[in-house]
A and B are shown apart, each in its own frame.
Chain A
Amino acid sequence: MTGNPSLSLDLVSDVRQLVAFPFMVNALEAGTIVAVLAAIVGWYMVLRRQSFAGHTLAVMAFPGAAGAALAGLPTALGYYVACGAAALAMGGRSRPTMRGYRTETATIGTVQTVGLAAGYLFLSLNTEVLSGFETLLFGTFLGVTQNHVLVLLAVAVVALAALALVARPLLFATLDRDVAEASGVPAGALDVGFLLILSVAVAATSQVTGALLVFALLVAPPAAAQAITVRPLPGLVLSVAFGLVIVWLGLGVAYFSPYPVGFWTTAFAFGLYVVVRVGVFVGRGGARAAWTTRRGGWVVASPRAGS
């Protein structure tokens, strides 16, 4: 295959062009792994209303990478260490309940900026990484090696296995914390545990999408899925499907266009969310119905509804 890739109406030839280069195959594999991981972990994150905590973990990838570059360690290691440390620093304090909520957001915000300030300090101490600075924040699918893909796969399997272990009690504790605690679910430990799983997912995702664009995969697919159904299993499946569509479309279109993949993935994520919301809005007959389903759906599903 020579020359620039050109888009044609022939889908088969398009796909053949897409996988003609090994780097693109690696990127597609990495994107697929990350999309599945982010869609599943993100489903819980959206349900627990922890987007702010998720975003904070995401930007921790920046000090992680800058610090690792300064210390001469592998970048990926820095990602995981920084994200894990931030998860522990936020600890149980980012509980999604209203208890002392205000100071909690202040803690999250402070953790986030301390991380960023540290990252900026590392960056200014070590002028060499400045070249990769935008990649750090906005990611690249194009530098992914076969090795990266294997590490990502291992990380994703471990994170998803951990999540599967706590899936039911975590859902219970998320939906009705008080009843869950009363029936012996260790809600506090689950909070910290989930933040750690989230930090792993975010660190993995940000290696591909960059620290600032993680939300395209972490929030949009689950949020769209939850707008359609409140049931956990179909919701998770939908969420994964949406994540895959966003990544594949984003990578595919970016390959044929001069504009960066980060732009395309976020644009598709946003578009998908808007389309789904509008579709639900129209399908359920107007604003009122859409609101009640989305807002009240979980109340109906939770054991408390009767009391």
Chain B
Amino acid sequence: MLNKKLFVLVCICLLCLVNRVAAQQVPLTYDKFEQLLEDLAPEDENLDYDAWFEYLSALQQDPIDLNAANYDELIEMRLLSDQQVNGVLYYRDYVGGFYNIYELQAVPELDLEAIRRILPFVKVKGSLTDFHIPFKDQLYKGDHQFFVRYTHLLQVRDGYKYNDESEPYYLGSPDKIYARYRYKYGTRLSYGITAEKDPGEEFFKGTEKRGFDFYSAHFFKKGDGLLQTLALGDYEVRFGQGLIMWGGLAFGKSVETIQIAHQGQTLRPYTSVAESQFMRGAAATLKKNNWEATLFASYKPIDRSATVDTLAIDDAGEIDGEVIIDDSGDNVTFYGYTQDGLHNTLTKIERRHALHQTDAGLRLAYNKRNLELAVNGVYTAFDENINLRTDALYTQYRFQGKSWSAASFDYRRVWRNFNLFGEWTLQSDNAYAFTNGVMMSLHPNLDISLLHRHFDKTYNSFYGAVFAESNSNPAGESGLFLGIAARPFPQWKINAYYDLYQYSWLRYGVNAPSRGHDRFVQLTYTPSRQLEIYLRYKSETKQANVSSAVLQTLQEEDNNDILQPFVQEETNNHWRLQVRYKPDKNWSLRARASGTNLLTPTAPTQTGYLVFQDIAYQPLGKPYDFTLRYALFDTETYDVRQFAFENDVLYSYSIPAYNGRGSRYYILVRYTLARSIDLWLRYAQTTYDDRDVISSGYNEIIGNKQSEIKAQIRFKF
């Protein structure tokens, strides 16, 4: 014991002398989270980051105790690689526990950057007092938060206007209202209610007498005995690599080229407002020694989708998801369901909650530090027959029937520098799929990842989210991913990946089995904590149908008889250059230029650009801060639109697409009215130079400006 203390003391003294990095506590700010998010999140407008941000915010208030943390809790932060988490746990076992946070620097797997990242979220206390607080104290001695968010578009869309004295198409006001109450006792206990009114939905009248269109409530408790986790109300379930079950955000191919495994806790509370991808009922995890069992059951109403006649074009005049436009067959029976959660027209109100979905499942896992093995089962049933196959050939292997079940086996094994993981599933209708990967740390400065996946064309999953080219519906895909992260020189980092994949069946917009590959490389130069410069290049090559316009031209030109769109190879090249700089602790600046060009054999190259500058002034200890952006964008077509993360009011995040030609700016201000009251105000405006009418159909706006105002107030008590 003495030896150990001596060892630690020497370590601390040395480390304090050599480097004082760990002494600087960095609070979680927008900037910090944004950076994490932007590095990890796929470019998509409709992702929901709440859960992750909330987890980190909760940890900031109640950091993880390094001496009590388990693998799941550490990996859930998504701030450390698997190797690093295991390094921390191994070190803890080796020395018998952390004495001081400075000891993190003695963990060989952790570099300074990693320590900086996790520092706000971890602590060394060496006590387990949290669990000894009586349950009834945990019930009310934590933090309460209540907030309301209001979003208003200054321009009026066509569907909200009285045309020729007829009633507007949408039932309610175009405003969006969101309200949430949440109680949290660290990460141990939480309960709350979330409510939302989407644009066009009525509010406390007409079809929405009960107020909001969507309500969600949860109660979530973690314990240390046999009952590890209890979830009541709305919750999310995550199994293995997400082949059959993965609630919430799942990351795919990103600049984090090594972190390709799905990791996280099996049960989580659900607090978002995506009105479909969650469980409603009860779930529990029981633990005995190395064995863990999770059971869940859920029953919830879902919306029926339109019938074939009206399906192709939805009420807003837009193409409805992956549904094919060409619906000539009249005897097709397509009984689907829709997940957009919008109930803003009479038709949608009729279809609301017309179906019910029952889900149940279990997971039995054997857990050791370096080994996890689990078997999972999921059963889903609808109260009437569902048929997701339309006339379109590409839907021919989709689900039909009343119930569905799947079993899977997943594993994770840490062996020396290797972390092996994977999942295999067998489903009703004999569909199968598997994914296997390995993350290797060949050298402290060189990591490699490799993943192979294969999905039968009949593969289905109602809640899955798996690492693949197409995260949401990878049926028929097989692929091989190779990722590299290297730090060849002290301030330089290279991240790169290559992904090769093919589909054994048709897909939406691809009238033949197809193949493709992605190449990605990013060079990051970080000469100091204040400055980061990166250059990114990504090229995506895949096959897709020739566009109908090109097809028509070809038909006219050659006077030939090409009737069906044929498949051709397209290459999308993206590049991006970004400079991020913090001249001091209050200011941060970010400038970016990005561009895309799309090369197809039958049409001229299409290009798109975006250039923007961000300025943020977030003075420490002042009751206010502000963020500004000005952007110019110019994209020839929607296919070369540009994505960029935008700052938003707390807990609201977006990565919108900049499409067309024009400029956009936003200003975001936060003001702390009192100790417990915060106010956010955001004004964003896009001005288009290439159009006088924005959007179309019922969403049409006359004019070239689109301005949105958003206000949020939060009470903490």
Do A and B come from the same complex?
no
Which residues does A use to contact B, with CB under 8 Å?
A: none
